[in-house]
């Protein structure tokens, strides 16, 4: 029986006690008054109701825990950023969720921030930005990236993080992706280790959850 019900029950009992004559015989607890006048307070038997709140709380906790495990296992996975190649958006030691299911429903697009197994050592994982997709022609001229001969606008790369490196034209074959770090002057990316195969990409960066100063959607 919850606290609110208990208070209300005690209040009715007090009212019933006050309505009894001072010298009159007391009514047996648990039974109605024999000759109660219409409208007069009546004494009724009160049966204890066992509380189920703790059982419901445990049930809800188990359901929530199971749902969290399923979501993390099949949809989202927490990862930790190591390094500064994705500054300014992602900082060293940031914690974020990646969506492992996103690319089962939609294609990988230019501008996506993805997590993939490092082509030269698949035991390691890298996080970079997709710059070009299969069939694209990409080149770099003194730091300016061109995709299909169109200069790429990159607002996510601040001026102080740019460099003046160049790269000869490259046409991406089916299943190949060209990735770059946002901190161009220090990033190890496709300019160094080449393109990334589709089967190495296993998640899309979704949301930074820690620390609080960096919380937000990853663009």
Cβ neighbours, 10 Å, residue 87: 19
Catalytic residue among 47, 68, 128, 185: 128
Confidence of residue 22 (pLDDT cuts 50, 70, 90): very low
**Which tokens go with 84?**
């500064």
pLDDT in tens, 40-49: 555 555 555 5
Let me know the angle formed at the C-alpha of 129 by 133 and 163, rounded to the nearest 5 degrees. 105
pLDDT in tens, 101-128: 999 999 999 999 999 999 999 999 999 9
Q: Which domains does the chain have, with CATH numbers?
A: 3-71 (no CATH), 78-217 (2.10.109.10)
Q: What is this structure's pTM? A: 0.70
Higher pLDDT, 158 or 66: 158
| Annotation says 166 is catalytic | no
Confidence of residue 130 (pLDDT cuts 50, 70, 90): very high
| Annotation says 128 is catalytic | yes
Average pLDDT along the chain: 83
């Amino acid at each position: 029986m919850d606290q609110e019900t208990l208070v209300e029950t005690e209040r009715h009992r007090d009212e019933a006690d006050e309505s009894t004559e001072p010298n009159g015989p007391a009514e047996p607890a648990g039974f109605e008054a024999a000759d109660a006048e219409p409208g007069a307070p009546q004494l009724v038997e009160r049966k204890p109701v066992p509380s189920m709140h703790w059982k419901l709380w445990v049930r809800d906790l188990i359901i929530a825990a199971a749902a969290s495990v399923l979501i993390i296992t099949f949809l989202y996975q927490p990862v930790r950023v190591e390094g500064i190649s994705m500054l300014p958006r992602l900082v060293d030691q940031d914690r974020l969720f990646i969506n492992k299911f996103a690319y089962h429903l939609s294609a990988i697009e230019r501008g996506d921030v993805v997590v993939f197994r490092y082509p030269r050592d698949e035991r390691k994982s890298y996080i970079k930005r997709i710059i070009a997709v299969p069939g694209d022609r990409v080149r770099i001229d003194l730091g300016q990236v061109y995709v299909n001969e169109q200069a790429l606008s990159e607002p996510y790369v601040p001026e102080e993080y740019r460099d003046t490196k160049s790269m000869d034209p490259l046409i991406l074959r089916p299943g190949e992706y060209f990735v770059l770090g946002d901190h161009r002057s220090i990033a190890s990316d496709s300019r160094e280790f080449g393109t990334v195969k589709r089967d190495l990409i296993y998640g899309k960066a979704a949301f930074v959850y820690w620390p609080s100063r960096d919380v937000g959607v990853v663009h």
